[in-house]
Amino acid sequence: MNISSGAVLFLGVATFFVAYSQMKIASAKARLDLYNRRFAIYICALEYYLILSNDASEAEIKEKSISFTKASRESIFLFDPIDGIGQTMHDIMQDGSIIRSYMRADKDYDSGKRRDDTSVLHQASIKAREDFEKKLGLLERQIDKYIEFRNIEGWTFLSFGEGTRLQTRRSAGCARSI
């Protein structure tokens, strides 16, 4: 074997390793992007709950409501339908609508506009708030497998196997390394 064929062989092997590492990087980026989008769905639901639980302006509530509606629709494409996340998001959206309806009616009542259905809306709002909180807990359990790091794989150059692995366990609702 002469020098030029050795150089060609070396370049071929080097090209393979560069291509392989690029493939691994692209795969990791795709997984990270999907994780970020899924986590954003949960954060959006949590923010919607928090804004409805506090004295926020109608503009702030409307902004979070629009964001939550978008997240609810996006969840259909990001999660397996068997897990029921899309349905839970829809149910949360319904509860949020009931709560918002009462908030607007209560504001109208305070400003002198008489509403006869305020007490009925108030009772519906109380139930919707309780249901919202329960459904948020359900959403956390449903989405857990998509956003919880239990097993983190690292990658090292020239590693074709599993790479390095960090095992985590749950303790009091948090992941800790062991």
Render 30-80 in DSSP notation, one character per residue.
HHHHHHHHHHHHHHHHHHHHHHHHS---HHHHHHHHHHHHHHHHHHHHHS-
Q: Say whether pLDDT at 171 is over 60.
A: no
Q: Say whether pLDDT at 160 is over 60.
A: no
Kindly give the residue spans of alpha helices, DSSP state H, lying in the chain: 3-53, 58-78, 85-110, 118-147
The answer on 121 and 45 residing in a single domain is yes
The answer on 160 and 92 residing in a single domain is no
The answer on 161 and 85 residing in a single domain is no
Give a yes or no: residue 29 inside a domain. no
Query: Residue 78 and residue 85: Cα distance in Å, rounded?
Result: 9
Give a yes or no: residue 81 inside a domain. yes
Q: What is the pLDDT of residue 175?
A: 38
The answer on 120 and 176 residing in a single domain is no
Across 34-55, average pLDDT: 93
The total domain count for the chain is 2
Tokens 């919607």 belong to 48
The answer on 122 and 175 residing in a single domain is no
The answer on 49 and 100 residing in a single domain is yes
pTM assigned to the model: 0.71
The answer on 129 and 60 residing in a single domain is yes
Tokens 């857990």 belong to 144
The answer on 69 and 96 residing in a single domain is yes
Q: Say whether pLDDT at 18 is over 70.
A: yes
Q: Say whether pLDDT at 177 is over 90.
A: no
* CATH number of the domain where residue 42 is located: 1.20.120
Q: What is the pLDDT of residue 133?
A: 94
> Who has greater pLDDT, 19 or 149?
19
The answer on 66 and 55 residing in a single domain is yes
Sorted by sequence, the CB contacts under 8 Å of residue 100 that are 6+ apart come out as: 52, 61, 65
Q: Say whether pLDDT at 170 is over 90.
A: no
> Who has greater pLDDT, 139 or 8?
139
Q: What's the domain range around 52?
A: 34-147
pLDDT tens-digit series, residues 65-104: 999 999 999 999 999 999 999 999 999 999 999 999 888 8
The answer on 163 and 87 residing in a single domain is no
Using pLDDT thresholds of 50, 70 and 90, give the confidence band for residue 7: confident
Give a yes or no: residue 11 inside a domain. no
Q: What is the pLDDT of residue 168?
A: 40
The answer on 140 and 116 residing in a single domain is yes
Q: What is the pLDDT of residue 174?
A: 36
The answer on 39 and 55 residing in a single domain is yes
Number of residues assigned to the chain: 178
Give a yes or no: residue 134 inside a domain. yes
pLDDT tens-digit series, residues 100-156: 988 888 776 655 555 566 778 889 999 999 999 999 999 999 999 888 765 555 555
Give a yes or no: residue 14 inside a domain. no
Give a yes or no: residue 83 inside a domain. yes
CB 90 within 8 A of CB 45: no
